[in-house]
Amino acid sequence: MDITADSQYVLFGSSGCLDGLHCYSAIDIVEINPDGSLNPDSEKIFGGDGTLGKSQRAFYVHLSPDERFLYSTGWTDDGQIQQEITFTFTESPLNITYRSGCTTNLNMPSIYTMAYSLATAGVSGTGGALYIAESEDGGAGDVALLHINPTTGCTKEAPESPFSIADPHAAIESVVVWPPRPF
């Protein structure tokens, strides 16, 4: 999940299944009340029907520091390849749009590796680069590095990525950076 800079909305990655067989990325957005609670009556769901691309599920989401883009992890519709998907985000009017051609297939060490949380390297603009925590079932962790195009928000994985952690039992499911975004 991620929260907008003005603390008005929380964004959740999820999946929507049209017929129980075809599950596609979905992003749920819920208003945050002044007391910090969530307003369930305000929920808006984007995607889940293929309009946010054919990637299955939106596991983790992360807004760019300038809030123009929403980065997400997921996998191909056959479940074989982990991906990073970039969406366009606007808060007023509230909207998420699929960016055709802005999906990066990740260089995974094995088919048992999953992509988890994301964090931008920089604290302004698109974030400059994106880190993704990766973990193999039963251990073995990596961190992927993706460069972000400052105009389109599209990503491209660095040739030497992912970077393996020396401990073969170091499962990595979250990643944070310092300094953090200003929100």
Element containing residue 5 per DSSP (H, E):
none
Residue 37 lies in a domain: yes
Residue 144 lies in a domain: no
SS (H, E, C) 10-60: EEEEEEEECCCCCEEEEEEEEEECCCCCEEEEEEEEEECCCCCCCCECCCC
> How high is the mean pLDDT of the chain?
90
70 vs 155: CA distance, rounded Å? 12
Residue 69 lies in a domain: yes
Quick count: other Cβ atoms within 10 Å of Cβ 35?
5
Range of the domain at 24: 2-111+149-160
Q: Is the pLDDT of residue 20 over 70?
A: no
Residue 61 lies in a domain: yes
Residue 64 lies in a domain: yes
> If you average pLDDT over each of 52-56, 74-78, 121-125, which comes out highest?
121-125
Residue 142 lies in a domain: no
Check residue 115 and report its DSSP letter.
Answer: E
Residue 183 lies in a domain: no
pLDDT single digits (tens) 37-73: 999 999 999 998 888 888 877 889 999 999 999 999 9
Q: What domain count does the chain have?
A: 1
Residue 129 lies in a domain: no
Tokens 């691309």, residue?
Answer: 53
Mean pLDDT value across residues 150-174: 90
Q: Is the pLDDT of residue 93 over 80?
A: yes
